[in-house]
Amino acid sequence: MYGGYKYIEESYEPKKDEFKLLVWVKGKKRFEELAEGVAAESSVGTWTKISTMNKKVFKDYRARIYRIKKVSESSGFVWISYPYEHFDERNLLQFYASVFGNVYGLKELEELYMIDLYIPLRYQRLYDGPKFGLEGIRRIVGTHKTRRPHVGTIVKPKVGLTPAEFAKVAYDAWVNGLDLVKDDENLVNQKFCGWKERFDKTNQARDKAETKTGEVKLYATNITDMDRHKMYERIDYVAESGNKLVMMDVFIMGFALVKEMVEYAHKKGLAVHAHRAGYAALHRSGFGYDFRILSKFYRLLGVDQLHIGTGVGKMEGNPYYIKKLHDVMVKEELEEEKFLGFFKQEWDEDIKAVFPVASGGLDAGKVEGIVAVHGKDVVIQAGGGVHGHPKGSKAGAKSMRQAVEAVARNIALDVAAKQAKELKQALEYFGYIRKEEVERKIKEIKESSSLLEEMVYDKGLNFLVALRD
């Protein structure tokens, strides 16, 4: 009981149009009371019994706890269902305020972590999803037949270069084989590299690179700004330039502005590259929620490319977990994975697949490993792995394209390196992660899933997070 009402109903079977949430709770009271507190505060209840509660409200709009798994007297996993009617249609902010809002402030909680969210088809149909997505961007670049991974770079250093210096680095990357060049998350319109001048010079370099190579090249310029009018102006400017892509720091911007700007960019014929900078603040502690939930929201909101992690680079996320995130982005139906807390999730046929982006600590020697995790439908971005190549950025770009072309033809990188000196230099300098090594890790985790599930339910959130990271 919480506030005089009961929310645990283990015999309840969630309806197909209800939302489902998997939560970890730990605190200063009995586990069951903590669980009911979360369900109550995120739906219709409060800390005490109230005279205004009526049978219809409690029957039709309350959250129901339909499963629990106690780990200790004061901690465990909670499965909660929410009726569709509880939420304001087409208003993700109201949903967020309900489910991810007040509950985090309950003082009896020592940990509250949202692990996964099931989004029903009925709610998905209120959103447009990506306009271009995976297949649309492949058609822009011209890889819809070859199906090779896309390969790109982030201009380094992150900030400090002048527009001319930036454009020169971008040109060198494009003419030496890369498909994509992007701004980093913290470069927008600083005095030393103003947005318009940087875009003009880099877009001219892009045009020149396309003429030289005969390939379509993309520039993901960061349009993120506190002033939405500046973002509109930048989208208009990019659309008039012939470039096909803009970048947004989507977590920083918030859902409402993301929806507004994605819709406008799509109206102008531009695809959206979504950077997730900042999300880890709500991802790597006992209070927060898993990135898989955000990734589902961003697919609904229509981003066309999204950073989801690598599985082999410097960012957190083991290969199996990142593979599951990849599936969230590209598959029409995602299978349940109990030990990592993934719900079975189907997507409406009109919600297109997002092109997953792997970025963070990558170089040519990790390309095989990336493809072992993501398959070939992935954008592989290397910053330090291009500009930190022992022979410079040009050689770094060549090594990445050589690696991608090799894996696209199922040729091992050490074999391809015999005919590609830049790739050989990269393997010698950065090292080489073979696909078999990554595939073995994924297989071992999959084959141990039943045992790992038991251990998660025995040890709790920390063990689950250790598996994920």
pLDDT of 157-187, one tens digit each? 888 999 999 999 999 999 999 999 999 999 9
> Rounded to an integer, what is the distance from CA 131 to the centroid of its chain?
17
- Confidence at residue 55, expressed as pLDDT on a 0 to 100 scale: 78
- Confidence at residue 315, expressed as pLDDT on a 0 to 100 scale: 57
Backbone angles phi, psi at 6, to 5 degrees: -105, 130
Return d(Cα 10, Cα 335) in angstroms, integer.
Answer: 23
Q: Name the band, by pLDDT with cuts 50, 70 and 90, for residue 322.
A: very high
Alpha-helix residue ranges (DSSP H) falling in 100-194: 121-124, 133-141, 163-175
Residue carrying structure tokens 């992935």: 378
- Predicted confidence (pLDDT) per residue in 357-396, tens digit: 999 899 999 999 999 999 999 999 999 999 999 999 999 9
Preceding amide of 83 cis, omega within 30: no
Q: Mean pLDDT check: name the lowest of 50-59, 165-174, 178-187, 418-427.
A: 50-59
Q: Retrieve residue 346's tokens.
A: 């189907």
Residue carrying structure tokens 């700004």: 225
188-223 burial: b if 16+ Cβ within 10 Å, else e? bbeeebebeebbebbbebbeebeeeeeeebbbbbbb
Q: Name the band, by pLDDT with cuts 50, 70 and 90, for residue 50.
A: confident
- Confidence at residue 72, expressed as pLDDT on a 0 to 100 scale: 97
Catalytic residue ranges: 156, 275
Question: Rounded mean pLDDT of the chain?
Answer: 94
- Confidence at residue 158, expressed as pLDDT on a 0 to 100 scale: 84
- Confidence at residue 49, expressed as pLDDT on a 0 to 100 scale: 79
What whole-number percentage of the chain has pLDDT above 90? 86
Fold designation for 19-124: Alpha-Beta Plaits (3.30.70)
Domain ranges of the chain: 19-124, 133-439
Backbone angles phi, psi at 451, to 5 degrees: -65, -40
Beta partners for residue 274, in sequence order:
248, 306
Contact 336, 327 (CB under 8 A): no
- Confidence at residue 281, expressed as pLDDT on a 0 to 100 scale: 83
More reliable by pLDDT, 25 or 59: 25
Residue carrying structure tokens 């939302």: 19
Residue 17 has pLDDT above 90, yes or no: yes
* Sign of the alpha-carbon dihedral angle for 349, 150, 251, 244: negative
Average pLDDT rounded to a whole number, residues 35-55: 82
Contact 299, 305 (CB under 8 A): no
Average pLDDT rounded to a whole number, residues 220-234: 97
- Confidence at residue 47, expressed as pLDDT on a 0 to 100 scale: 63
CA dihedral 331, 335, 341, 347 (to 10 degrees): 40
Of 3.40.1370.10, 3.20.20.110, 3.40.50.970, 1.10.10.10, which CATH number belongs to 133-439?
Answer: 3.20.20.110
What whole-number percentage of the chain has pLDDT above 70? 98
The structure's pTM equals 0.95
- Predicted confidence (pLDDT) per residue in 247-304, tens digit: 999 999 999 999 999 999 999 999 999 999 888 888 778 899 999 999 999 999 999 9
SS3 of residue 298 by DSSP: helix
- Cβ within 8 Å of residue 462, ≥6 positions away: none
